[in-house]
Structures are given as structure tokens and as C-alpha cells.
């Protein structure tokens, strides 16, 4: 079987890497891919400026039996609808279902209909009304752009002044364009974040291993949010009891609420959670695997990923039983200088990749790289996801950072405390 992976980031590199291990996969195409994917996939830059038919044409011309869509933007824009209309097998939710990520207001309405636990909220298109609501509700409070904003449209505001500034940036200044033409203002939940992901085939929801992401740019969870500066799996905060509660109180009723609105959900549903003193509450939904959570989940998966995705597309997830390694996995994201500010620098040669790839149980997933004059160079805000497996979280952390220390590029920076909550639980019995 030939497989097409759509995307260019660390999540998609991890998909390509895992799919290449399947004896059922003959050729892998990546569109557009990156410098790391080029080692195991055939990368092609197919323009979709006029829609997704060019990608569908590519799939037909190359006898692609399965297309895996990694990023949220094409899913929200309807790539699955186009492929399905042309009879092509594709993995991911259609545009109607992908609104769970594409519109935070829509997601909140589905949560309400499902009775899923989440923070109180209001949505606004008028800045004055939004500021008045914030003044009444008080701080801390969270201001979110309703649409897709590459993981950066969420501002946790500690003061009313910060909340007013975030509202003005989005609704008046147009900081996120159309994505910020509506803002969702919601209760600031307190607790420990966790990521919970399920594969859905329209009937069955099959959970993957739990994980935890690190959004803020600096150690100690300080500074602005990013797309993710690192992750680890498993996440000790998700024990067996919490796992069962998430499935019964959140996943099942949300999928039922979607179906009641005429949207049968097929693909990946990512549940971003805050584990509070009152139990788990939903922060957000994504319509795809998280990044860098993918980089710590798939290396722990012992089952064949191609078989798993096939079962999801064909409605056979009820027959699937996944196998996982007991090892822990840690991913440290190496970022460009200046990230997450939009003026970060790129184009810098990267050295040490071969040495890092030889480090003990380490794998380097490329997130934002390109080939320049035969050399791998930085080409994005998040450049590399340096990942390692270990018998426990402490071993995996040590191995990941040992591999990071072998890699150099101008302006490179990364957090030095990835996995700190899990390490605290391991050493002190608590977070």
C-alpha cells in the first residue's frame, strides 16, 4: 500500500517514521514534508492554492491507498470532504466535524449539549461588550481567538489590564485576522494539564496513551504560550480511574452530541484537559494528534500504525487491541531564536543531527527544517523534537537532553525542565 502524509511538521515526521515500520506500507509520500521526512518518504510540494483537488490528483496518480492528514488547517478547510467525494481513502474528520477545533465557540456549545465539564464562558464580537464582561467576571481569565491561530490565540490574563489588551489585540487590532473576529472569554481553570487522545471510526472510540504537553516558552511554565515546547508519555496524572471518567463523562457524550447534530465523528479527537480539584475539565478539542504529543505517543505504540488507521477508516476499531511499551518517552523541542515572537530567525545550518540520532534510544523528529545547499537548516519556530525512550521518566529525560546537547544551530533554545511534573511525582509522590 502507498501512503500519503499531508503536512510538514514534527507530528507528520513522526507519522512517516512510524508508518515506515509497517510491512504493509510500500511507498510513503509526504506533501510538502521536511528535511527529516526526506530520509524515509518522497517529498513533493503540491500547490493547493486553488483547493485540494491537486492533492487528490496526486493521490490518484501515485496509486495512494491511504492519505493521513496531520495538521488542523486542511482538515478544517475540508480536505477530507474533497477526498471522500472522489472515492479516496483518507483519515481525518470532515469539515463539519473539524469545527470542534476550528471554532472554540462551536466546541463550547457541543460541550454544553453533552454536559461535558468545562469552564464557564461567553463569546463576543464587540470589544466594548467583551471588556465589560471581563470587568464583571474578574481576573485571572482566559481570552481566546475563536478560530485557528497556530496554537498562539490563547492568552491567560492575570489582570484586567492584560485581558483588555488581549481583547483589543484580537477584536480591534486584528492580531489573528478572521480567526480572532470572535473571542471566547472563559473561566481560568486551575490544576494540572493533560492530553487525552482517541481514534474514532464513527461508532467506536479507542483511546491512545496519555501524555502531557508544555506550552509556555520558558522553564517553570513562564512566558507566552507556544505550539508546544516538549511533552512526555505516560502522564502520571491520568490514572486508571481518571481515564475511565474521561471516556464516560467527556468522550462518549461529546461524540453523541456531535452525532445528534448530524456530524458523525471519524478521525482523531484530542481532548485538552485541566485536572482540577473538582475533576477533569475540557480546555479545548483538537481534530488531530497534538504536536509534540505525537512524538511521545507513537514511539510507545508497539502496534502497526497502518493497521490502526485502516481500522479507523473502515469502521473496525471495535476489533482492535493496542499494544504499548512500558517505557516512558520524552520529547524536547529545540526552537529558533526569538520564537514565539513572529520575528524569530531561521535559515541557520544545523549540526550534530547524525550524532544525536546515534544517542541511546533517541530519535530526532524534524518540525521546521529544510535543505539548503545540501545541509539541513532551520525553517520554522519549532525546529526539532528530540525524543528518547527510557525505563522511567527520569531515564528518558536524561537521554533526551543528552541528545539535545549534541545538536547546534544559531539561536537555538529549549526548556530544561520538560517532564518536571512527572519527575516530581516520581521523586516526591506528588506534583
In DSSP terms, 267 is beta-bridged to 200
Task: Quickly state the pLDDT bin for 425 (edges 50, 70, 90).
Answer: confident
Judged on CB neighbours under 10 Å (0-12, 13-18, 19+), 125 is exposed
Q: Is the model's pLDDT at 339 over the cut of 50?
A: yes
Q: Which three cell numbers stand for residue 257?
A: 452530541
- What pLDDT, on a 0 to 100 scale, did the predictor assign at position 209? 96
Per-residue pLDDT averaged across 12-36, rounded?
A: 97
Beta partners for residue 187, in sequence order: 141
The rounded distance, in Å, linking the Cα atoms of 221 and 240 is 27
* pLDDT tens string 378-393: 999 999 999 999 999 9
Give 256-313 pLDDT, tens digit per residue.
999 999 999 999 999 999 999 999 999 999 999 999 999 999 999 999 999 999 999 9
Percentage of the residues of the chain whose pLDDT score is greater than 70:
99
CB 15 within 8 A of CB 40: no
pLDDT score of 431 more than 70: no
pLDDT value of position 428: 67
Write the DSSP symbol of residue 170: I
pLDDT of residue 153: 85
Closest by CA position to 166, among listed 153, 150, 178: 153
Which residue in 261, 285, 282, 264 sits closest to 113, CA to CA?
261
With contact defined as beta carbons under 8 Å apart, do 39 and 104 qualify? Answer: no
Lowest mean pLDDT among 7-21, 68-82, 413-427: 413-427
pTM: 0.94
**Residue 151's pLDDT is what?**
67
Q: What tens digit of pLDDT does each residue of 90-101 get?
A: 999 999 999 999
pLDDT at 170: 94
Least confident of 70-79, 117-126, 236-245, 419-428: 419-428
pLDDT of residue 289: 96
Query: What are the Cα distances from residue 415, in Å, to 191, 242, 360?
Result: 21, 28, 20
Report the alpha-carbon distance of residue 212 to residue 393 in Å, rounded. Answer: 12
Give per-residue pLDDT as tens, 203-232: 999 999 999 999 999 999 999 888 899 999
Domains plus CATH for the chain? Answer: 2-92 (3.40.50.20), 120-187 (3.30.1490.20), 192-319 (3.30.470.20), 328-428 (3.90.600.10)
Output the nine-digit C-alpha cell for 287: 481534530
Dihedral pair phi/psi, residue 311, rounded to 5°: -65, -40
Give the pLDDT confidence score for residue 373 in this predicted structure.
86
- Pairing label, strands 279-286, 141-145: unpaired
Task: Cite the DSSP H helix spans in 288-379.
Answer: 294-297, 305-314, 353-357
Please give the share of the chain, as a percent, with pLDDT higher than 90.
90
Q: What pLDDT does 87 receive?
A: 97
pLDDT tops 80 at residue 430: no
What average pLDDT is seen over the chain? 95
Amino acid at each position: 500500500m502507498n501512503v500519503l502524509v499531508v503536512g510538514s511538521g514534527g507530528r507528520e515526521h513522526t507519522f512517516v517514521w512510524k508508518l515506515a515500520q509497517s510491512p504493509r506500507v510500500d511507498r510513503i509520500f509526504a506533501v510538502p514534508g521536511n528535511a527529516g521526512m526526506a530520509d524515509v518518504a518522497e517529498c513533493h510540494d503540491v500547490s493547493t492554492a486553488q483547493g485540494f483537488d491537486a492533492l487528490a490528483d496526486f493521490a490518484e496518480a501515485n496509486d495512494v491507498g491511504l492519505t493521513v492528514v496531520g495538521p488542523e488547517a486542511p482538515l478544517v478547510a475540508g480536505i477530507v470532504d474533497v477526498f471522500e467525494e472522489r472515492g479516496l481513502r483518507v483519515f481525518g474528520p470532515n469539515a463539519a466535524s473539524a469545527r470542534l477545533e476550528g471554532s472554540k465557540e462551536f466546541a463550547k456549545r457541543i460541550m454544553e449539549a453533552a454536559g461535558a465539564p468545562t469552564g464557564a464562558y461567553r463569546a463576543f464580537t464587540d470589544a466594548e461588550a467583551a471588556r465589560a464582561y471581563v470587568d464583571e467576571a474578574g481576573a485571572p481569565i482566559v481570552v481566546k481567538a475563536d478560530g485557528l491561530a497556530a496554537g498562539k490565540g490563547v492568552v491567560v490574563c492575570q489582570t484586567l489590564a492584560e485581558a483588555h489588551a488581549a481583547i483589543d489585540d484580537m477584536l480591534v487590532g486584528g492580531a489573528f485576522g478572521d480567526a480572532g473576529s470572535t473571542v471566547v472569554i472563559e473561566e481560568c481553570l486551575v490544576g494540572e494539564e493533560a492530553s487525552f487522545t482517541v481514534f474514532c471510526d464513527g461508532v467506536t472510540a479507542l483511546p491512545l496513551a496519555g501524555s502531557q504537553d508544555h506550552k509556555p516558552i520558558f522553564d517553570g511554565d513562564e512566558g507566552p504560550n507556544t505550539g508546544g515546547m516538549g511533552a512526555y508519555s505516560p502522564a502520571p496524572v491520568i490514572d486508571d480511574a481518571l481515564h475511565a471518567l474521561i471516556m464516560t463523562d467527556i468522550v462518549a457524550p461529546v461524540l453523541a452530541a456531535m452525532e445528534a447534530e448530524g456530524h458523525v465523528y471519524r478521525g482523531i479527537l484530542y481532548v485538552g484537559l485541566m485536572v482540577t480539584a473538582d475533576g477533569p475539565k475540557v480546555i479545548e478539542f483538537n481534530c488531530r494528534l497534538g504536536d509534540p504529543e505525537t512524538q511521545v505517543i507513537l514511539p510507545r505504540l508497539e502496534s502497526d500504525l497502518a493497521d490502526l488507521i485502516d481500522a479507523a477508516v473502515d469502521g473496525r476499531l471495535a476489533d482492535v487491541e493496542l499494544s504499548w511499551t512500558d517505557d516512558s518517552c520524552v520529547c524536547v523541542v529545540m526552537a529558533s531564536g526569538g520564537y514565539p515572537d513572529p520575528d524569530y530567525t531561521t535559515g541557520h545550518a544545523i549540526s550534530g543531527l547524525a550524532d544525536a540520532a546515534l544517542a541511546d534510544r533517541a530519535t530526532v523528529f524534524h518540525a521546521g527544517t529544510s535543505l539548503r545547499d545540501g545541509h539541513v537548516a532551520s525553517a520554522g519556530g519549532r525546529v526539532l523534537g528530540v525524543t528518547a525512550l527510557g525505563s522511567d521518566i527520569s531515564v528518558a529525560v536524561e537521554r533526551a537532553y543528552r541528545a539535545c546537547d549534541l545538536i547546534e544551530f544559531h539561536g537555538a533554545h529549549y526548556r530544561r525542565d520538560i517532564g518536571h511534573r512527572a519527575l516530581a511525582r516520581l521523586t516526591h509522590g506528588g506534583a
